[in-house]
């Protein structure tokens, strides 16, 4: 093993660095640590693993692809550790980038076969490594804006694990196809039109990957838009129900006020006659005819108010004792849909949990207040039967396999605004603590 051979081999392995950078493009809002920490951490990781891999390749003549299979699990675990997101999202992005890099590898073969027609892809050469390094950088530059802007939106908004897992086999299929079409010896490309066919095959595979990626984005965007519309419609239905109930109360109150003169005259007549039993009976009937106000004003936010009225009526029907402290202003830097999504999921989960208990054990406490004019704090506690399915701090649904969708939705919405959502339990009590920072412009 010569120094030149080792240097060329090491440079070949360094072509993995642009691929690692691409993996973080859609995760711009999910990186756990500061950028300086991430750069230092990555430099140490690659500074240890890449020279070691190059040394093994040179000393034992191990092909690049074989060692890559050993390195990838380590890189993925490190990648997943440094981002704050579901496993399904990180594996989906990682698998896609691996498929993308297999295309880059075949593009390198196109140029390398022109320069060295009697060689093969497993031969380490500085020119080959340089071509692949430049190709990876070009691909990274092409995908930077789309993945940072649009890819991050998918990562931040789509929290259905099954959808992300479904993309992994597709990426693996593209990866396998790119590996299978790669020639063992470059000389085989020069029979008939195989070289042209190889070029067109790579172009087709790359185009299909990008096309599927774009289709995936628009399909998910449509689904999320549909879900958002459904949520808005649900809030509007609650507000409409509140409006109808409020109008009925106003109309009945107006009728009572209109008849109040006759009521006073009747009471005066009975009083003059000293018929106190009749006065008492008349007042009992009058009190029963006075309309009861069904709508309560919990806060200044109309959407949240409608939501709370809806769920408090449900809680009353289920015999659940409730205690609310709601101080949410009319305008906040969060959309009403997202705010109602958080509170609605909290109350829906709490009511569902309370149904499993005897009626005298059912209770829910909910507080939502602005703290120090800087953050919205939502704290909820409810009784439940004490049965949970949890692992590594994540709670799983007791009604079906997999994580609780309501809790995932709460956490995702909180993270969308730079906040946090924590869930815990002790004995027969379940706790939800949410903190969401309020933008500076709100205080202005």
The predicted-structure confidence for 338-361, as pLDDT tens digits, reads as follows 888 899 889 989 999 999 999 889
Residue in the block written with tokens 């006659």: 273
> Measuring CA to CA, how many Å separate 113 from each of 56, 199, 273, 432?
26, 11, 117, 61
- For residue 215, which of 175, 173, 170 has the smallest C-alpha distance? 170
Residue 340: how many CB atoms within 10 A of its CB?
24
In contact, 429 and 362? CB cutoff 8 Å: no
Strands 429-437 and 420-426: antiparallel
> Measuring CA to CA, how many Å separate 331 from each of 229, 328, 410, 419, 433?
20, 8, 20, 18, 22
Q: Is the pLDDT of residue 92 over 60?
A: yes
Entry pTM: 0.66
For residues 286 and 92, what is the distance between their CA atoms, to the nearest angstrom? 68
Q: Name 26's Cβ contacts closer than 8 Å, sequence gap at least 6.
A: 93, 147, 148, 151, 152, 154, 155
Within 13 Å of residue 86, how many CA atoms lie on the same side as its CB?
Answer: 24
DSSP 373: T
pLDDT digits (tens, 9 = 90+) for 142-200: 999 999 999 988 888 787 788 899 999 999 999 999 999 999 899 989 888 899 999 99
pLDDT digits (tens, 9 = 90+) for 267-290: 777 777 777 777 778 777 766 765
pLDDT at 168: 95
For residues 387 and 427, what is the distance between their CA atoms, to the nearest angstrom? 9
Q: Is the pLDDT of residue 80 over 90?
A: yes
The percent of residues in the chain predicted with pLDDT above 70, rounded, is: 86
Of 72 and 393, which is predicted with more confidence? Answer: 72
For residues 49 and 164, what is the distance between their CA atoms, to the nearest angstrom? 29
For residues 248 and 390, what is the distance between their CA atoms, to the nearest angstrom? 47
């Amino acid at each position: 093993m010569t120094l030149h051979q080792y240097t060329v081999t090491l440079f070949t392995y360094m072509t993995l660095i642009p691929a690692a950078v691409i993996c973080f493009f859609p995760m711009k809002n999910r990186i756990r640590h500061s950028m300086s920490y991430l750069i230092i951490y990555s430099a140490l990781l690659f500074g240890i693993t890449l020279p070691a891999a190059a040394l093994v390749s040179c000393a034992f003549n191990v092909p690049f692809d074989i060692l890559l299979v050993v390195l990838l699990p380590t890189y993925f675990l490190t990648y997943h550790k440094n981002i704050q997101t579901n496993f399904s999202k990180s594996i989906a992005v990682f698998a896609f980038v691996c498929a993308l890099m297999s295309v880059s590898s075949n593009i390198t073969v196109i140029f390398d076969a022109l320069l060295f027609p009697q060689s093969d892809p497993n031969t380490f050469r500085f020119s080959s490594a340089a071509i692949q390094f430049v190709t990876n950088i070009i691909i990274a530059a092409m995908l930077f804006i789309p993945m940072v802007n649009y890819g991050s939106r998918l990562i931040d908004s789509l929290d259905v694990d099954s959808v992300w897992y479904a993309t992994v086999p597709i990426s693996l299929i593209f990866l396998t196809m790119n590996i299978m079409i790669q020639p063992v010896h470059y000389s085989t490309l020069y029979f008939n039109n195989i070289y042209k066919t190889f070029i067109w095959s790579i172009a087709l595979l790359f185009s299909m990957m990008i096309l599927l990626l774009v289709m995936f984005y628009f399909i998910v965007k449509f689904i999320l838009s549909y879900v958002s519309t459904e949520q808005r419609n649900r809030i509007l239905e609650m507000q409409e129900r509140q409006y109808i109930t409020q109008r009925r109360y106003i109309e009945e109150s107006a009728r009572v006020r209109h008849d109040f003169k006759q009521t006073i005259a009747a009471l005066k007549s009975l009083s003059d006659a000293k018929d106190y039993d009749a006065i008492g009976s008349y007042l009992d009937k009058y009190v029963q005819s006075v309309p009861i106000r069904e709508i309560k004003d919990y806060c200044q936010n109309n959407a949240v108010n409608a939501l709370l009225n809806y769920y408090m009526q449900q809680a009353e029907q289920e015999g659940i004792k409730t205690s609310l402290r709601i101080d949410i202003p009319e305008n906040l830097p969060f959309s009403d849909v997202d705010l109602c999504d958080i509170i609605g999921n909290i109350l829906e989960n709490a009511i569902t949990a309370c149904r499993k208990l005897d009626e005298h054990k059912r209770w829910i406490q909910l507080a939502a207040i602005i703290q120090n004019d800087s953050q919205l704090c939502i704290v909820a506690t409810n009784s439940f039967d004490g049965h949970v399915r949890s692992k590594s701090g994540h709670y799983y649904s007791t009604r079906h396999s997999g994580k609780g969708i309501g809790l995932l939705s709460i956490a995702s919405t909180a993270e969308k605004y730079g906040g946090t959502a924590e869930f815990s339990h002790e004995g027969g009590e379940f706790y939800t603590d949410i903190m969401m920072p309020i933008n500076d412009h709100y205080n202005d």
